[in-house]
Amino acid sequence: MKARVTVMLKSGVLDPQGEAVRHALGALGFSGVEGVRQGKVIELDLAEGTTEAEVDEMCRKLLANTVMESYRIEFP
């Protein structure tokens, strides 16, 4: 089974990487880009029967820094 974890910086946290992308898009002539946030996505290939609670534990212990980042778990 597959699980997808998306980790984004929390909204109050400055995102210099996203800001750099926004600036670069403007320099390339794309107007109308009002904001950019960049995060990471982790696709897990898991043994059958792995529960959402286990994936949540993986996020809290390793995949996300819950002080600064929020995460979302999906089973596509």
For residue 47, the minimal CB distance to its own copies (Å) is: 3
- The secondary structure element, H or E, covering residue 3 is strand 2-9
For residue 75, list its beta bridge partners: none
User: Minimum distance from CB of 57 to its own copies (Å)?
Assistant: 8
CB of 11 to its own copies, least distance (A): 11
Q: Contact residues for its own copies (CB under 8 A)?
A: 6, 8, 18, 21, 24-25, 28, 30-47, 49-50, 54, 57-58, 61-63
Provide the residue type at 18 as one letter: G
Residue 14 structure tokens: 């400055």
The residue (of 37 and 73) whose beta carbon lies closer to its own copies is 37
The sign of the torsion formed by the CA atoms of 28, 31, 34, 40 equals: negative
